[in-house]
Chain A
Amino acid sequence: MALPIYASPLQTAWYYGFRFICAVIFFFLIFPIMVIIPLSFNAQDFFTFTPEMLAFKAEGYSTKHYQDFFTNSDWQNALRNSLRIAPMATLLSVSFGTLAAIGLSQSHVPFRRAIMAILISPMIVPLIISAASMYFFFSRIGLQGTYMGVVLAHAVLGVPFVIITVTATLVGFDKSLTRAAANMGAGPVRTFFKIQMPLILPGVISGGLFAFITSFDEVVVVLFVGSAGQKTLPWQMFTGLREQISPTILAVATILIVVSIMLLTTLELLRRRSERLRGMSPG
């Protein structure tokens, strides 16, 4: 939408006005996240910029909140729990989800719409309802407050993301490829691993990343379904926001922002790769 040279003054004004509006909105999107980063180096224990910080004096800044994060056993336990739970939950939702997505993308699936609606529902049902329901139900079957319980709950929440991303890669999937493989004598299993898997892999991985981040960020369900032994990073952050005056959360937040940037980059690279593989134009 470059500005043509024959544009009238009004058009020019609108062109720059519109860009300005967009810049303001982008600022609104990004600023709250970026503001956390300098604040996490606050030498004081509070959530605001101190006069020393605004004057860019060295004594206004410190890495003490990062030290706290890396030495405090509560935070380290929380990190460890998150890293124990999220990969298992991801593994479950990706393996079940990929199979189901392949099933769903076949040409003749009875009750496809209804099945799809059920599989996507964990994303739609308000978290508080899911959390309360699982809390009661899991208590009843002895899963409340167990590692397995939290993993299962998080796996279910990750399922819709896997289904959505994997079916999306399968939409552009050229069926003649599997037929060709079958024609040349490959069994269904061999066809799957040699033909389908490499092609849908980017979708599977990005679904997996979504499932991972769902579990890694999730707080409502783990608050209800988990107990002290499963206290995750977001749970500890939530307690931190409500219980203790601890800007360590800002340090954790900064670390998490860096993690999201890394995940996002991975995802972007995968998307490009997937589109190249499927012969679509990039973008």
Chain B
Amino acid sequence: MKMKTLMLGGAAFAMTATAAMAEDMTIVSWGGAYSASQKAAYHDPYAAKEGVNIINDESSAEAVAKLRAMSEAGNTTWDVVDVVAADAIRLCDEGLAMEIDADTQLADAPDGTKASVDFGDLLVSECFIPQIVYSTTFGYRKDLVGATAPTSVCSVFDTAAYPGKRSLEKRPINNMEWALMCDGVAKADVYDVLATDEGQSRAFAKLDTIKDDVIWWSAGADTPQLLADGEVIMGSTYNGRLFALIEEQKQNVGMLWDGQVFDLDGWIIPAGLSDERKARALDYVKFATDTQRLADQAKYISYGPARASSAPLVGQHATLGIDMAPHMPTDPNNAKNTLLYNYGFWADYRDDIDAKFQAWLAK
């Protein structure tokens, strides 16, 4: 019977899979174009050099939950995990990620600058090795926004000048800041205002003015797709996604760099690995975060390398052959009005403001 052969085949598969486990290394990341850029810049050269088999897990979005469950169970199956800085801080706080000393455990810059100096302020947690600086910013459909293209983030709140749908992320972070900035709060005071009940109400009141025109997204690909399908006229997403949409897929979309919010993404190593796996993981991150490797990644995706020493090495896109530097969020032309994700503030207020945000959405 066919069924039987299928089942036997299944069983055989299962056995070979367990037998091959020994020299595997599981690296967790975000998937999509981002994982592809990591594969080209880090995984493939490392695997060729060391002969390990790298398994890509695309669970970064649930990394904190899964690591917590794994540590409860005492069975951590991941070796290196790519997370955003806020998650890294949370993991470090909970003792789920191991501390890494930048100067002794990471590679120095080619000119001998210590890693801690090279990364500088971006080392926001003892457990976190930053990899890229990315930003959440706006893209707009050139053919749907009328004669004058938007130049300010506050265009998002201006439904008179720019009628049509806009997409925003389904979470309070970033949206609350933009709302306050466009409601006349100075950039320096945003978090002081947001810490108060009145400030939060003020931000919601501002968001209320566009609530009926917003499509809320929860995955990074939503806005690019909504823009491509003409479902929205402008929307927030990660700058690398917009780059791919504009330069690789040649869509009629423009970048609005004003008011972009910088955030960091990088590696952590889970706590509680065996010595052997820990050594392997450390060796990998040392390799993957050296000056050249970080610059290499920028060939495939438009995120800024986290090391100062990598910036001059950023070259051209691997297949498109265009200069990548002007597409970096950190490029001086793009970074005229920026915000840095406030890790401390959101660690405290996230639950509270999020409950209000959800209640506001449901209204």
Contact = CB atoms under 8 A, between A and B. Distances in A.
Contacts of A83: 6, 9-10
B73 A242 contact: no
A80 B224 CA distance: 30
B44 interface: no
A239 B60 CA distance: 13
Contact of A243 (B6, B9, B219, B249): B219
Contact of B77 (A48, A84, A140, A227): A227
A208 B6 CA distance: 13
Contacts of A48: 229
A242 B13 contact: no
B179 interface: no
A46 B227 CA distance: 11
A97 to B, nearest CB: 15
Interface in A20-55: 45-48
Given A84-B13, A88-B7, A144 B69 contact: yes
A243 B69 contact: no
Interface stretch (B50-58, B95-103, B337-345, B350-358): B50-58
Contacts of B222: 242
Interface residues of A, number: 32
Nearest to A138: B73
B188 interface: no
Most buried by B among A84, A140, A231, A243: A243
A141 interface: yes
B75 interface: yes
Contact of B70 (A139, A228, A231): A139
Contacts of A136: 69
A125 B11 CA distance: 29
Contacts of B362: none
B10 A239 contact: no
Interface in A118-154: 135-136, 139-142, 144-145, 147-148
B57 A227 contact: yes
Interface residues of B, number: 37
B225 interface: yes
Contacts of A47: 229
A244 B221 contact: yes
A84 B218 CA distance: 31
B272 interface: no
Interface in B1-51: 3, 6-7, 9-11, 13-14, 17-18, 26, 28, 31-33
A150 B202 CA distance: 47
B178 to A, nearest CB: 24
B14 A84 contact: yes
Contact of A145 (B56, B58, B77): B77
A229 interface: yes
Given A135-B69, A144-B73, A243 B7 contact: no
B10 A88 contact: yes
Contacts of A140: 72-73
Contacts of A45: 228, 249
Given A85-B10, A88-B11, A244-B221, 14 more contacts: A45-B249, A47-B229, A83-B6, A88-B7, A88-B14, A91-B7, A144-B70, A144-B73, A144-B75, A145-B66, A227-B77, A242-B221, A243-B219, A245-B224
29 contacts: A45-B249, A47-B229, A83-B6, A84-B13, A84-B14, A87-B6, A87-B7, A88-B10, A91-B10, A139-B69, A139-B73, A140-B73, A142-B73, A144-B70, A144-B75, A145-B77, A147-B17, A228-B55, A228-B58, A229-B17, A229-B55, A239-B31, A242-B218, A242-B219, A242-B221, A243-B31, A243-B32, A243-B221, A244-B32
